[in-house]
Structure 1
Amino acid sequence: MFQIIKDIIYIILILNIIGAVYTVFRQRRDIAATWAWLLVLFFLPGVGFVIYAFVGRKLPENKLFPLKSKTRLQLDQVMEHQRRELKKNEFTAADQVVKDSERMVQFFTKTDYSFLNRRNEVQIITDGNELFDDIFAEIKKAKKHIHVEFYTIYDDQIGNQLRELLEEKAREGVEVKVLWDSWGSLGTKRSFFKKLNELGGEAYPFLGTRSALTDFRLNFRDHRKIVVIDGKIGYVGGFNVGDQYLGRKKKFGYWRDTHLKIIGSGVYGLQSRFILDWNATDRKKQIVEEFKAGSVYFPVAEVKGNTSLQIVSNGPDSDIEKIKMGYLKMIHKARESVWIQSPYLIPDDSVLDALRLAATSGVDVRVMIPCMPDHAFVYRATQYYAWQCAKWGIKVYYYNNGFIHAKTMVVDGKISTVGSANMDFRSFKLNFEVNAFMYDENIAKQLQEIYEEDIKHSSLQTVAMFNKQSTWLKFKQTFSRLLSPIL
């Protein structure tokens, strides 16, 4: 009897190994993710496959293809024209930062159809109440269309305020389109937008997924946060729609995030991104308008601000990790300082090496992360990498005044980025993200001032402090780090 049980276990283990190898290698992955999944599937027989069903499966190609079809908006023609303009190398004194970042600008134009937009007005918003007061005020003034895309839209006080306002505008005849992520908005029923749809608005989960219960994927989520109003005003950053993002939940306390309000041609990038996502989600009611300045969705920008920027998107539909590459370009370009804020710090080797190289070359490298977890494994992995950063002379700060969710980087007080992408594998490879990369000393200086104010509410973590952690905590951090490619 014992021998029979032993043989059955042996057969199960063999089948598990065969199944693990087949499951992992049937889809193309990088080496780190491949080994991480083999580790999970080998050492958690049966259970590992359940985890894989939730976390490991990729999106089918038929859903990714529409997201790649940028030619539908004639963006290829626009980009070719801009590339010719950039080659002329005609920069004014106000464009000096752009000129100094010319290679970075060209990289984005070649890889992401990300055109350079000049003369924008940009406002940095770090408080959720201020942000939504501003968004709601602009929505009330909308005349033609309102496009909204968020990872999270909760059925709570602020979520209902947004929905009711959108219903009011739909009743007025304004075009209202909403995209949300079914997993990020877990708990929000699809019927939440029933009345909006009845009034002529349109609200759908990203890529048409009916609910999180029928979409067993933790990866490949729409993590973008975009609002576009009449094609003239746009918002992008880290805030989602929910009471916790306004500091109304005791668990996190004050929610410290960073968002941008953009007025000018920079909105074109957000608008085109939304249209591509919308067309991939609703195949029957697509937006067919081509990119053309002066059209309904891309009106002529009338403002004359001072900020030049590029809107860069990233996701599993991309062959190149464009936002990560942008981060690398910024870090390698640094001569004085690299200041980073991110709720999660799980960089791959290329980013970690870039930060180490900068720090050991005399650059002032700082990283600010939360003092508390919102996801246990992710936070322990974040602590591990924070420890490694501290070993190389990088200043690591724990933000103590609530939860910091900002995703920002500012380099040398000249160039900066704000968006939805965290400093982790998930944002680099697995989720759909969008960031604004800005070439403006004034904006960079403002972000530095905000950073310095945040330091007043933070504590510097030294190598000695990390070394004094308990053996058990160090084990959890190291173990979580092994799973970092799939966290």
Structure 2
Amino acid sequence: MKKLLNIMANRLFIVAVLILLQLGLIIGVMVSLSGFKLVSNLLRFLNFFLIIYIVNRQENPSYKLAWIILVLVFPLFGGLFYLMFGGRKMPKALRREAMIEAARTHPVLPRNEKILAEIEGQDEQAAKQFRYVVNNAYYPVYKNTEATYCPTGEIKFWHMLEELKKAERYIFLEYFIIDNGIMWDSILEILIEKVKQGVDVRVMYDDAGCVYTLPANYRKILEKLGIRCAVFNPLKAQLVIQMNNRDHRKICVIDGKVGFVGGINLADEYINAYEKYGHWKDTAVMLKGDAVWSLTVMFLQFWNFVYKAMPPSNYDDYWPVYKPEEQPVSDGYIQPFSDSPTDEEEVGATIHFNIINQARHYVYIHTPYLIIGYEMQRALETAAKAGVDVRITVPHVPDKKLVFMVTRANYEPLLKAGVKIYEYTPGFIHSKSFVSDDEIGLCGTTNMDYRSYYLHFECGVLTYKSSIIKEMKQDYLDTLKDCCEITLEDCRKTPAVVRLIRAVLNLFAPMM
């Protein structure tokens, strides 16, 4: 184990050192050139137009403000850093590849207009939410689907093991983090056995998410076992903007019949097999039925984009093979969806906005980070001022201390507006879930922060009038019993120095 940790640490160290050397070289050249008056004046001239360009981009105002301040404070290389890292989106060539692959999936995803019409007959506002996803993310809303809520990682893990053992055709796994331990070793044991039975087993993981948990050659290790493997966006010792884009999704699909989605990665802290940041609270949803087809398409779409060793899969070939034969009794309306930084549509953020803005009585939120811009802050405040019971639960034990300071920096204005904020005292909440008005539920991978909203590939499942909504609400209320409520008095007791540090960090929160 120590040897493995050393290998991973050395790999990250080498990448970091080489990137810093490149940055140092660039900064050194810029400093040297700045001694020439002509070059200095040219940089100021270019920065002026760069600021005009930033102001007029269709981006989050907080994100633009942070970069403008950086360019003004550091005129020598602030503009250069923006050109290198500030564009947020992927390089044009990669974006084009991803969008072409996404377009290939549209014909195999049914719009299910009759189901949308049913929802519209019950609640026009709810129908608008689902129609937004259909029109902009192209993922339909389904019936004929059974949903099971998993309020902890342990419960999801148990269900997942049981379903994996039943696999006959294929197993698709896509996770941000995979870590050797009780959880992954138990799953891997089943995968190896299934490969021997002729099951098509594919695993996809994010390289940055696994840099501390898996060796650099882990793909080859899995492929020697007969498991096809793809690694998203491998870490490289070069300054490239796509290093910001990560595959933050967590998807498991089995035979097109069963699918899992939620915040739970394949690592032992998620099932509390060991304590990392206190007790780990997370959630997921298991689906059985028609809606699993969207999760299948999500995986295959990304697999074709990432896995370059073979010709891309033909979606028309998968539809008759993977579509489930039996149809479970409908459990409300289910809409799995995916969000991508390759387009200009911030699906995850918009769904969050819509749930908050359309709430009539209450909206309860679990999020590990509360790194929000002005628009989200105003949406939460406006809902609370209108009499909606808005509650947000965040961790008490942080995983990232600087990010947690920014989370706490956002407490006071929200509390003043009537939003209720709770910290989960046993440890860390990693769940990303919304539940509202006993009708709408959301469980997925999207955090309330800039990275999830604008940089990462994310996914989730939106539900309407499903049985799991009552379970989600009850789980939220039960979780509150283990939380401490934050008050305005608590915020005002914060030392002035800490408040100042939080304010400065909050200014640059969009870059975190």
Q: What stretches of structure 1 of length at least 5 have no aligned partner?
A: none
Is 1:274 matched up with 2:299?
A: yes
- Go from structure 1 to structure 2 and tell me whether the alpha carbon gap of 1:390 and 1:417 turns closer, same or farther (over 3 Å shift): same
Match of 1:330 among 349, 355, 360: 355
- Go from structure 1 to structure 2 and tell me whether the alpha carbon gap of 1:292 and 1:278 turns closer, same or farther (over 3 Å shift): closer
Counterpart contact for 2:145–2:327, Cα < 8 Å:
no
Counterpart contact for 1:118–1:266, Cα < 8 Å:
yes
Shift of 1:20: 6.1
Matching residue of 2:63 = 33
Counterpart contact for 1:182–1:212, Cα < 8 Å:
no
Shift of 1:458: 0.3
Matching residue of 1:197 = 223
Q: Distance in 2 between matches of 1:459 and 1:420?
A: 25
- Whichever residue aligns with residue 98 of structure 2, its letter is L
Matching residue of 1:257 = 282
Match of 1:428 among 448, 453, 478: 453
Q: Distance in 2 between matches of 1:6 and 1:139?
A: 60
Matching residue of 2:131 = 106
Shift of 1:54: 7.0
Counterpart contact for 1:186–1:212, Cα < 8 Å:
no
Matching residue of 1:479 = 504
- Secondary structure (helix, strand or coil) at the match of 1:296 reads helix
- Go from structure 1 to structure 2 and tell me whether the alpha carbon gap of 1:351 and 1:63 turns closer, same or farther (over 3 Å shift): same
Q: Distance in 2 between matches of 1:327 and 1:297?
A: 31
Q: What stretches of structure 2 of length at least 5 have no aligned partner?
A: 1-30
Is 1:317 matched up with 2:347?
A: no
- Whichever residue aligns with residue 132 of structure 1, its letter is F
Is 1:465 matched up with 2:490?
A: yes
Shift of 1:169: 1.7
Q: Distance in 2 between matches of 1:394 and 1:9?
A: 54
- Whichever residue aligns with residue 78 of structure 1, its letter is P
Q: Distance in 2 between matches of 1:204 and 1:77?
A: 24
- Secondary structure (helix, strand or coil) at the match of 1:78 reads coil
Matching residue of 2:6 = none
Q: Distance in 2 between matches of 1:20 and 1:433?
A: 33
Alignment of 1:74-113 (within 5 A): 74-75=106-107, 78-79=110-111, 82-83=112-113, 85=114, 89-90=117-118, 101-113=126-138
Shift of 1:461: 0.5
Matching residue of 2:443 = 418
Counterpart contact for 1:421–1:428, Cα < 8 Å:
yes
Counterpart contact for 2:206–2:234, Cα < 8 Å:
no
Matching residue of 1:341 = 366
- Go from structure 1 to structure 2 and tell me whether the alpha carbon gap of 1:194 and 1:167 turns closer, same or farther (over 3 Å shift): farther
Matching residue of 1:63 = 94
Q: Distance in 1 between matches of 2:36 and 2:491?
A: 42
Shift of 1:213: 5.0
Matching residue of 1:8 = 35
- Secondary structure (helix, strand or coil) at the match of 2:333 reads strand
Counterpart contact for 1:193–1:203, Cα < 8 Å:
yes
Counterpart contact for 1:170–1:196, Cα < 8 Å:
no
Q: Distance in 1 between matches of 2:83 and 2:33?
A: 27
- Secondary structure (helix, strand or coil) at the match of 2:140 reads coil
- Whichever residue aligns with residue 396 of structure 2, its letter is C
Q: Deviations over 1:221-248 (max 9, x none)?
A: 1110000000110000001111222224
Q: Distance in 2 between matches of 1:198 and 1:381?
A: 44
- Go from structure 1 to structure 2 and tell me whether the alpha carbon gap of 1:336 and 1:14 turns closer, same or farther (over 3 Å shift): same
Q: Distance in 1 between matches of 2:164 and 2:84?
A: 40
Matching residue of 1:377 = 402
Q: Distance in 1 between matches of 2:392 and 2:146?
A: 28
Q: Which moved more, 1:119-128 or 1:443-452?
A: 119-128
Counterpart contact for 1:74–1:291, Cα < 8 Å:
no
Matching residue of 1:125 = 150
Counterpart contact for 1:74–1:290, Cα < 8 Å:
no
Matching residue of 1:210 = 234
Match of 1:440 among 462, 465, 469: 465
Q: Deviations over 1:228-285 (max 9, x none)?
A: 0001100000011112222244440211001111111111111111111111112433
- Go from structure 1 to structure 2 and tell me whether the alpha carbon gap of 1:124 and 1:47 turns closer, same or farther (over 3 Å shift): farther
- Go from structure 1 to structure 2 and tell me whether the alpha carbon gap of 1:28 and 1:281 turns closer, same or farther (over 3 Å shift): farther
- Go from structure 1 to structure 2 and tell me whether the alpha carbon gap of 1:98 and 1:191 turns closer, same or farther (over 3 Å shift): farther
Q: Which moved more, 1:64-73 or 1:419-428?
A: 64-73
- Whichever residue aligns with residue 37 of structure 1, its letter is W
Q: Distance in 2 between matches of 1:440 and 1:364?
A: 20
- Go from structure 1 to structure 2 and tell me whether the alpha carbon gap of 1:288 and 1:6 turns closer, same or farther (over 3 Å shift): closer
Q: Distance in 2 between matches of 1:401 and 1:341?
A: 15
- Whichever residue aligns with residue 397 of structure 2, its letter is M
Q: Deviations over 1:431-484 (max 9, x none)?
A: 111111100253221111001111100011111110110111111211111112
- Whichever residue aligns with residue 148 of structure 1, its letter is L
